[in-house]
Amino acid sequence: MRMLVTSVALGVAMQSGCVSTPNLSGSLGAPSFSAMQSMCDASLVDYGADAQSVYSTFYDAYVAQRRGALSKDRYCAFQASIAERYGA
């Protein structure tokens, strides 16, 4: 029983680490916002007050790209479309 409780507690702790989005400067295993923008050879965009929300969106796409669910070309096209809409 103690082993089960420990396993459940460990599982919850691990999941809670996966749910949050890192801050704009990145963290262990998560690139910074500027590093993610630089991956696509595009100019850096200043998203102002929306930067954390945009980073969260880019980070989700980054994770999908790293896991093979999204090609780098599609990831970069996604980033470009967000930058284009933001600038409009």
Which value, in Å, is the radius of gyration of the alpha carbons in the chain? 16
| Residue-by-residue pLDDT tens, the chain, 88 positions | 444 333 334 344 444 445 466 777 777 778 998 999 999 877 888 899 999 999 999 999 999 999 999 999 999 999 999 998 887 5
Q: Where are the domains of the chain?
A: 47-88
Q: Hey, is 27 helix, strand or coil?
A: strand
Please write down the HEC assignment for all residues of the chain.
Answer: CHHHHHHHHHHHHHHHHHHCCCCCCCECCECCHHHHHHCCCCCCCCCHHHHHHHHHHHHHHHHHHHCCCCCHHHHHHHHHHHHHHHHC
